[in-house]
Amino acid sequence: MRAQRDVRLFWAAVRACDMDEQMDRCANLTPPVPPLRAISAAEIARFNADGVVCLRGLFQVRWVEALARFVEQIARDPAQLRGAAVPPTTFLGDSFLWKTFDECRDFAYGSPAAHIAQQLLGSQRINLLFDQLFVKPAGCAVATPWHHDHTFWPLSGTQIMTIWMALGDIKSDNSALEFVRGSHRWGKRYKAVRPDRLAYLLESALDDPPDVEARRSDYDIVSWDMEPGDVLAFDAFVLHGSPANHSIVSRHAFATRWAGDDVRFAPGPATMPLNWRHGLRPGSPLGGPLFPQILPRPLAHELGSRAYGPEPRDPELLAATRRLYQEAELRQRKGSDAKQAPVGADGSRFRGEAPASDE
C-alpha cells in the first residue's frame, strides 16, 4: 500500500515538473539579469551591521527609466490606482502593483533586484513578497512615522528585506528616508504604525515604536542623498521613517520586498490582510501566485495567468479587508474621544493623506 502511494506521489511530482518545464519554455521565463557590478563584501557587511545600505550603480538604465516613466504617469493620473480624484499634495501609494501593471511585473521578474536580495540575505531561494509605490508630492505634509516593516506582514523568519529605489533626486528637504542604524538587532517587535495610523493594525499587543522624532539626538540616525536608480537596501526589522516634503520637488520611490529561505507564512491578528488568493497554510514556505519564487529561477506555474493579463484583487477578500478596517475603526472611535477623521475619496476615513495600500 505504502509503496503504491509512494509511486503515485512520485509520478505526480514528475508530471508537475514536466508541466513546469514546458510552461517555462512557453512563457520564455528566464532568471533576472545580474546587477551591473558585484556587491562588495563591505556593502554586505554594512547591511548586516547597520540594517541598511545605500547601493549605487547596480541597475541598468532601462529598468530605472521604465519605472520612473511608470511612476510619473501614475503621479499625473493617480485615479489609475484609487479610481477617484486625489488631491495633488496627497501621499500617494499602492502595493502589489505587479499584479496589475506589466512594468512592475517585468521589474520584479527581470531586473537585478532579486539578485541583490539574494546576495544581501545570503539565501539560495528568493521570493517576491510585493512591490510598493511611494509618491510624496511637493507640499505633502505627511511624515512617515518611525516603524519597522516586519510586524506589518503575515510572515515569520529573518531573511526579509526591501530594495527602495529613488526615481528622482531625493534629499533631506524632499523627504529622504531615514534609519536608526543597527535597530534591526534590538530584538524588538513593534506595532505596525502607518502614516494614517490604521486602527486595524494598531489593535496589537506589541509595543508602540519608540518616539525617535521626539529624541532624535538619542539615536544614530542615517540617511542619504539619492539619484535615480540608487537604492536603499534594508532589513525588515530596521526602524525607519521620512519627514514631510516641504520642498518644491516631488519625491518618487518604488520598493520591492523580498524573502529568503527561512521565511514562512505566519498569518496573525493586526497584520496586512492579503487581497489575492494564495493557497498558503500557516507554516508553509513562500511560493505560489502571490509570493512567487524568482531565484534560483522563476516558475511558470506560479506566474500563471499573470503572464497574460492583470489579476485584480479578489472582490470577496477585498470586501472582508474593508470590513476588518471599518470594524476596528468603529471600536477605536467608541473607545476614545478622538475627533472624527475626514472621509477619504474612496469612502475610507483617513487621519492624514496617507497612501492607500494593502499594508
Ligand X SMILES: O=C(O)CCC(=O)C(=O)O
Interaction site with ligand X (CB under 6 A): 134, 144, 149, 162, 164, 177, 240, 242, 253, 255
Closest to ligand X by CB, 99 or 240:
240
| Distance (Å, whole) CA 281 – CA 286 | 10
Look-up of cell digits 473607545? 335
- CB of 12 vs ligand X, minimal distance in Å: 40
Instruction: Please give the backbone phi and psi of residue 311, each rounded to the nearest 5 degrees, phi first.
Output: -120, 100
For residue 121, which of 175, 194, 47, 206 has the smallest C-alpha distance?
47
- CB of 162 vs ligand X, minimal distance in Å: 5
- CB of 18 vs ligand X, minimal distance in Å: 40
- CB of 159 vs ligand X, minimal distance in Å: 17
Secondary structure element (H or E) that encloses residue 223, with its range: strand 221-223
Closest to ligand X by CB, 161 or 274:
161
> What is the secondary structure of 190-202 as a DSSP string?
B----TT--HHHH
> What is the secondary structure of 84-101 as a DSSP string?
S---TTS-EEEE-GGGT-
Closest to ligand X by CB, 209 or 287:
209
Closest to ligand X by CB, 253 or 299:
253
CB 355 within 8 A of CB 251: no
| Distance (Å, whole) CA 52 – CA 236 | 10
- CB of 177 vs ligand X, minimal distance in Å: 6
Closest to ligand X by CB, 109 or 164:
164
Q: Which cell numbers in the block locate residue 113? A: 533586484
